[in-house]
Structure 1
Amino acid sequence: MRKAYTVQEKLDVVKKVRDGASQASVSRQSGVPAGTIRGWIKNEEKLQSAAAECHDSKGPQTKRIRGADDTTLDKALFEWFTQSRHDGIPLSGEILKVQAQKMSRQINRDDDTFKASDGWLWRFQRRHGIKSITVSGESKSANVESAAAYPTILRDIIDTEGLQIYNADETGLYYRMLPDKTLAEKNDPRQKTGFKKAKQRVTVLLACNKTGRHKLKPPVIGTSKNPRALHHVNRSTLPVVYQSSKNAWMTAYIFKDCFFKNFIPAVRHYLRQQKLKEKAILLLDNCPAHPPASTLSSHDGKIKAVLLPKNTTSIIQPLDQGIIKAFKSHCKRKLITHLLDSAMPPTDYIKTVTMKDVIFTTHYAWSQITTSTIDNCWRKGLGKAFDEDFLGFTETDITEAVAKYKDYAGEEALDVDLSSVELGVACDNDLPTSESKSDDQLIEDARSRSDDDDDEDEDAEPLQPPPGVPRRTAEEALACLEVSIQYIQQNPNSSFNSTTLLHAKLLLDMMRRDVVKSKKQQCITNYFK
């Protein structure tokens, strides 16, 4: 008789393999077929997500994870719960049941048969890790004293538990907006002539650890579920995690999905690689889109979220101390660089920027943030938690930054006014990344996530439909790559260096293997036709 294994049993077997044991030996010890173990390893992320979403002690022991019967209601109600808790509203089980019944009537109208029973409430709380807690009488507002006291609290947590510290925060990005400042001659009649600001936006979630050695793949949230630029693109190969919502805002559902499906597996993988304890906390601000910290924890409780004191994030949150600003600076510079390289008028160029461009610009900008920048920002915000102080940027740091700028600009280098640079980077600093929504808006957003609609590009100013891009073969890609390598080798004075050539040759080897795999094996009967 075939045995049904619990989620926890599957994870325990996978962990033994991850710890170095061979699949054959684990199979003999556990009595699980080797093929079954391979399947569990392949689906480890799904198992982690399933176990993490069951927060009670019996959750990982279940053999089947039961989802919500009405996914639209489930998502809308959880968003409402997160929003209400952010506003400091005490909630009970009876209040949840009344709100669920109300939302169900709005969703299903005359076809509503939903009953908010005690059993339904128990399953809803179990799915989302909602616990009953005592609400303290503290004021919602926080002050500078809270920010000053928190590093000591964090240091006690680190000393007690010996874990890794991460921080995550959202930022909005106008990915087509060009600077609204320009240099001009004093008597130039066109000095105030500009162009309409393009306000197409995305929200980017950045996360990293204290040392800066682990920068996680950033989720990018657009308005379109299936942007035209990503048609026929394998999204698992993208350098970001693409998500979507109606206004390109972060939502509690998206954040929870990213935490369990991306953050926890990525952190476990990194800690295993570094041979560190698999224990970590993620510091979060009190954004309305962030679910309660009690709902953000791995199944074993070793990786969890902790909320910073309210209204203190601008003072102590590491990402707000300069990391996000540096990230946006690289994004803006990349946009300007591509504009100059295109030799197109700005109004024409910005219409050609697609979601795929945004994704790779985001990846480039995030990769340019150095470990020293991240470490300095952590010191500035929470230095006392690590017995480290932020001493500011030295004269050498400033000199090197100026030298890099002049080297980048060459003969075009200008004596740039610092205020104009600040304004160019800060144009989307106040861009909202979440909002408080009505019941109707929550239900509409939940429906849009549940529907498998094939929506198109989200641009406010529609692009001209691009010509049909044919599906390229492995042979065509290989031929183009070989020509590119020949060009690099024949032009030693070009901007490509030896590292670029090495990467191109590694890619060439991979492409050759793909060409071999793509060729169908000949049958012996083919030779007698």
Structure 2
Amino acid sequence: MSQNKRKVFSIEEKSHIIWRLENGESNSEIAKECGVSHSTISTIWKNRDKIKVLFENNSLKLKRARASEHKVIEDALLTWFKHQRTNNVPISGPILQQKANDFARLMGKENFECSSSWVQRFRARHNIVAGKVCGEAAGVPEGVSEEWLSHKWPALCEGYTPEEIFNADETGLFYNLTPDKTLKFKGEECKGGKLFKTRITVLVAANMTGSCKRKLLVIGKAKKPRCFKNIQSLPVTYKNNTRSWMTSQIFEKWLLDKCPAHPVVSNLKCIKLVFLPPNVTSVLQPMDQGVIKALKTQYRKLQVLQMIQNIENSKPINSLSVLDAILMISEAWEKVTQTTIANCFRHAGFNDLSSSQAEDDDDIPLARLIQFTDEDDNVPLAELVTQLQRFTASEQTIQIAEFVGIDDSVAVCALATEEEILAEAESNNRNTDEENEDLQNPEEQFQPTTISEALNAVTVLQKFVAFNDQFDSDDAHVLRSMKRKMQRIFETGLKKKQTKMTDYIKK
């Protein structure tokens, strides 16, 4: 009988094996190197989806993934722990025990009594180790951005090129707000009320040179909005929670400024995580130096254009769905130029120290930092709003700056109470599809476009292009290509609908 001890891999080790398999290495080669059988590697590959989830949840040292018997309590405790860790509050095992018991009492589970062994298993599942909790922002004096830039920044950027340095920030967006409602909702934090149903959170990220703009992260309320039915892909990454806010769970894949929803992420590979000093967002945050303003300006222009089109087509003026908002915010992000992003990084003080051209943009007006792409973008938003007011016979004076920035101060995360943390954990551990459907705007009755409607639309576009000299042969070619693909889809549908002779013979 073999005396060899059975080898057990951690989640981190299994993830590395999966990565090697995905990159073309053979099962036999990895099995030989690791000293295990082929079937062991095959089992790891078979369970790759579950292992990837555990890896993304930072459960790196686990040998076996055992589900917790009290999942809601565990999820609530983990969220609470991340809030405390973000604020550099030291948490011991006994404190975790007591807090777990507190959540159990709130749930009415009088028979639950958290033991030290339960806490040990909890810490193992979530890779929580003993040690001092710390973050880059902890030792930075509040409000001293100049000191941070002169003392911290040179050391932090050493060894990295401007293309490798990214900044990200989130912002709230009232995606269905008409210009005439800006005064009414000025200063709205969006914790409830009418706008609560039509707000999303958008996370914006790009590198110093503006050469790499990350796909936008959009956070809505519903897990499966009605308008997403049969959608194959989205131009953004979509997440959800009951308040459309950034949460610790969503943040695990993103690196942002210091706030309660942003825990200190450990075990990062080839990544240096840095939190900007607190309360200096308006000074040090590149995304807040004009990038988000450029994004929202473009979104509001697209929004107003859509409203004018709705009026001309006898549709409700503000009938935007979450899908409409996602498509428009993605298009707006495409229009934010590389130059704008690079300008905003420099304006925040993040100069490329390896370059002799260290420009000082402190005295340059924000409007000059923002540059758009096409000639069409030179049409001022104010002019479009004026056109909209003519259609609606509105005489109200609209402040364009307020319309663009009406949601700049909207809360995008919150320090949740124990009751709110528990409610969120309970919501995440039950089937919420129906609940999420009910969260949608009652006016948002979305009907997917049929293939016949799409074919008619592209035919109309072909005629429009043929009579308009602003389009060229390339544009016409794109439309023809789209039409051919649609025709193939239409023909495939017809074949499926064809009846046989036997269909008419009664049994």
Contact 1:78 1:253 in 2 (8 A): no
Q: Secondary structure at the match of 2:245?
A: coil
- 1:275 maps to what in 2? none
Aligned to 1:287: 259
Aligned equivalents of 1:179 and 1:5: distance in 2? 58
Match of 2:463 in 1: 487
Q: Post-superposition shift, 1:370?
A: 1.2
Contact 1:54 1:126 in 2 (8 A): no
Partner of 2:96: 96
- For 1:177 and 1:516, the matched residues in 2 are separated by 41
Question: What is the aligned partner in structure 2 of residue 125 from structure 1?
Answer: 123
**Which residue of 402, 411, 430 maps to 1:423?**
402
Q: Which letter does structure 2 place at the counterpart of 1:178?
A: T
Matches within 5 A, 1:66-215: 66-110=66-110, 112-113=111-112, 115-134=113-132, 142-150=141-149, 152-160=151-159, 164-180=164-180, 200-215=198-213
Aligned-pair CA distance for 1:493: 0.9
Q: Distance in 1 between matches of 2:302 and 2:384?
A: 17
SS of the residue aligned with 1:432?
coil
Deviations 1:217-266 (A, max 9, x none): 222222223322223334xx01122222222222212322xx1xxx6xxx
Query: How far apart in 1 are the matches of 2:107 and 2:246?
Result: 23
Superposed CA deviations along residues 73-130 of structure 1, whole A, max 9, x for unmatched, are 22222222222334453322211111011102222535x43x4233332333344343
Within 2, Cα distance between the matches of 1:396 and 1:459? 36
Gaps of 5+ in 2: 1-5, 32-36, 183-192, 388-397
| Aligned with 1:330 (options 298, 304, 309) | 298
Q: Does the residue aligned with 1:215 lie in a helix, a strand or coil? A: coil
Over 3 Å counting, the alpha-carbon distance change for 1:121 and 1:160 in structure 2 is farther
Secondary structure class of the residue paired with 1:324: helix
Per the alignment, in what secondary structure is the counterpart of residue 389 of structure 1? coil
- Give 1:463's aligned residue: 443
C-alpha distance in 1 between matches for 2:375 and 2:385: 13
What's 2:287 paired with? 319
Local SS of the residue matching 1:202: strand
The answer for the alignment partner of 1:306 in structure 2 is 274
Using a 3 Å threshold, how does the CA distance of structure 1 residues 493 and 482 change in structure 2: closer, same or farther? closer
- Is the 2:175–2:200 contact (alpha carbons within 8 Å) kept by the matching residues of 1? yes
Deviation (angstroms), 1:406: 8.3
Q: 1:311 to 1:249 in 2, by over 3 A?
A: same
Amino acid at match of 1:425: V
Deviations 1:176-219 (A, max 9, x none): 2222499xxxxxxxxxxxxx985631111122222323222222
Q: Which amino acid aligns with 2:342?
A: D
Report the CA distance shift for 1:373/1:402 in structure 2 as closer, same or farther (over 3 A). Answer: closer
Give the unaligned 5+ runs of structure 1: 183-195, 264-281
* Counterpart Cα distance in 2 of 1:407 and 1:212: 21
Q: TM-score, normalised by structure 2?
A: 0.74
- CA change 1:12–1:413 in 2 (3 A) is closer
Local SS of the residue matching 1:342: helix
Paired positions, count: 462
**Aligned twin of 1:276:** none
How far off is 1:427 after superposition? 1.0
CA–CA separation in structure 1 for the residues paired with 2:304 and 2:17: 51
Equivalent residues of 1:154, 1:385 under 8 A apart? no
Residues 85 and 133 in structure 2, CA contact (< 8 A), matched pair in contact too: no
TM-score by length of 1: 0.71
Q: Report % sequence identity.
A: 27
Superposition deviation, residue 430 in structure 1: 1.1
